[in-house]
């Protein structure tokens, strides 16, 4: 994506290994889909390769956007009294005689 500009930042293989480790640790908490979205944002918005803190900001923004669109499918606790009332109404409706 950034080609030689990216590679020229790493003067030695040892430094490249160090930087890879730093990025791995810095991005460990983000899911693959968030990282992919952040990479896409970099492609569209950054002329030069981002620093780790800049990329983490992209990831945070992508996480916020992603969380906005995710559905909460965790079960909700219902009030037993409300459920009982609804059940009684349903039973009444089912027991009605049709004329």
* pLDDT tens for the chain, residues 1 to 99: 676 776 777 788 888 899 899 999 999 999 999 999 999 988 898 888 899 999 999 999 888 876 655 556 666 777 888 888 888 888 888 887 665
Amino acid 97: pLDDT: 65
Smallest CA-to-CA distance from 67 within 28, 27, 24, 30 is with: 30
Residue 46 structural domain: 4-71
How much is the pLDDT for 65?
Answer: 72
As a whole number of Å, the CA-based R_g of the chain is 26
Asked whether residue 88 is assigned to any structural domain, the reply reads no
User: In total, how many domains does the chain have?
Assistant: 1
- Residue 89 forms part of a structural domain: no
Q: Rounded to a whole number, what is the distance in angstroms from the first to the last CA of the chain?
A: 74
């Amino acid at each position: 994506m950034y080609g030689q500009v990216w590679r020229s930042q790493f003067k030695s293989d040892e430094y490249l290994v160090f930087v890879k480790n730093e990025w791995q640790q810095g991005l460990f908490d983000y899911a693959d889909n968030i990282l992919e979205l952040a990479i896409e944002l970099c492609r569209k918005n950054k002329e030069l390769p981002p620093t780790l803190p800049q990329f983490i900001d992209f990831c945070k923004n992508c996480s916020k956007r992603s969380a906005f669109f995710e559905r909460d499918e965790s079960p909700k606790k219902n009030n037993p009294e409300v459920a009982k009332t609804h059940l009684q109404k349903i039973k009444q409706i089912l027991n009605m005689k049709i004329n």
